[in-house]
Structure 1
Amino acid sequence: MQIELKRGGAAALADTHGAELFSYRTPAGEQVLWGGSPDSWTGRSPVLFPLVGAVKDRVLRIDGQRNPVKNHGFGRDLEYTVTARSDFSVTLRAEADRDTLAVYPYPFALEITHSLTGAGFATRYRVTNTGSRPMAYCIGGHVGFCCPRGAGAFEDHDLLLPEQADVLLMPVQNTPLPGQQPSRPLLSGVTGFGLDRGLFDQGTLYLEQPGLHSITLRDRRSGRGVSMAYAGFPVMALWTKERADAPFLCIEPWHGLPEMEGESGLFEEKPYLIPLAPGQSRSLEYTVTVF
Structure 2
Amino acid sequence: MRQILENEFLRVSIEDHGAELVSVYDKENEREELWQAKPPYWNRHAPVLFPNVGKHHNDTYRLQEQEFHTSQHGFARDREFVCISRTDSALTHKLISDENTRSYFPFDFELHITHRLEERKLTVEWNVVNNSGDTMYFTIGGHPGFNVPILQGSKQTDYYLLFKEGPALKYKLVYGDSGTADASKEYTLHVEEAEGYYRCPITDHMFDRDALIFDDTQIEWVGIGYPDGRPYVTMECEGFTNFGIWTMPGGPYICLEPWMGRCDDYGFTGDISEKPDIISLKKGETFHKGYCLTFHR
- Which TM-score band applies after superposition, normalised by the shorter structure? over 0.9
Q: 1:69 to 1:251 in 2, by over 3 A?
A: same
**Within 5 A, what are the aligned runs for 1:1-291?**
1-28=1-28, 29-151=30-152, 152-164=154-166, 165-171=168-174, 173-174=176-177, 178=178, 180-183=180-183, 184-188=185-189, 190=191, 191-210=198-217, 212-221=219-228, 223-242=230-249, 245-261=250-266, 263-291=268-296
For residues 133 and 39 of structure 1, the distance between their equivalents in structure 2, rounded to whole angstroms, comes to 43
The answer to whether the 8 Å contact 1:92/1:112 transfers is yes
- Partners of 1:2 and 1:33 lie apart in 2 by 15
Bigger drift between 94-103 and 53-62 goes to 53-62
Letter in structure 2 aligned against 1:124: E
SS at match of 1:99: helix
Deviation track 1:222-266 (CA, whole Å, cap 9, x = no partner) reads: 735111000121111000013xx1110010000112111463443
- Deviation (angstroms), 1:86: 1.6
Give deviations 1:155-186, integer Å, cap 9, x for gaps.
Answer: 11111111224241313633xxx375314333
Structure 1 SS opposite 2:186: strand
Closer, same or farther: CA 167–146 of 1 in aligned 2, 3 Å: farther
> Would the alpha carbon gap of residues 88 and 79 (structure 1) be closer, same or farther in structure 2, given more than 3 Å must change?
same
> Residue 56 of structure 1 contacts residue 265 of structure 1 at CA under 8 Å; is this kept in 2?
no
**Which letter maps to 1:221?**
D
**How far did 1:149 drift?**
1.4
* Amino acid corresponding to residue 143 of structure 2 in structure 1: H
What is the TM-score of this pair, normalised by structure 1? Answer: 0.92
Percent of paired sites with the same residue: 28
- Distance in 1 between residues matched to 2:189 and 2:27, nearest whole Å: 38
Do the aligned residues in 2 keep the contact of 1:169 with 1:203 (CA within 8 Å)? no
SS of match in other structure, 1:200:
coil
Q: Unaligned 5+ residue runs, structure 2?
A: 192-197
159-168 vs 40-49, greater mean Cα deviation: 159-168
Whole-Å Cα distance in 2 between the matches of residues 40 and 212 of structure 1? 26
Q: Is the Cα contact below 8 Å between 1:166 and 1:185 reproduced in 2?
A: no
Letter in 2 for 1:78: R
Deviations 1:18-58 (A, max 9, x none): 11111001122211111202211112111111111111111
| Alpha carbons 1:57, 1:179 under 8 Å: kept | no
Instruction: Check the 8 A contact 2:48/2:140 in 1, yes or no.
Output: yes
Letter in 2 for 1:276: L
From the superposition, tell whether residues 211 and 57 of structure 1 become closer, same or farther in structure 2 (CA, over 3 Å). closer
Is the contact made by 1:167 and 1:205 (CA closer than 8 Å) also made in structure 2?
A: no
Q: What is the one-letter code of the residue matched to 1:272?
A: D
CA RMSD between the two structures: 1.8
C-alpha change, 1:158 and 1:84, in structure 2 (3 Å) is same
The ranges of structure 1 where at least 4 consecutive aligned residues each deviate by more than 6 angstroms after the TM superposition are none
Which one-letter code corresponds to 2:264 in the other structure?
A: E
Give me the whole-angstrom Cα distance separating, in 2, the residues matched to 1:131 and 1:250.
33
Tell whether the 8 Å contact from 2:179 to 2:263 is kept in structure 1 after alignment: no
| Pairwise CA distance, 1:63 | 2.7
How many residues align? The count is 286
TM-score (norm 2): 0.91
**Distance verdict in 2 for CA 1:276–1:224, change over 3 Å:** closer
Structure 1 gap ranges (5+): none
- Give a deviation string over 1:46-82, Cα, whole Å, max 9, x none: 1111111111111232232222211011111111011
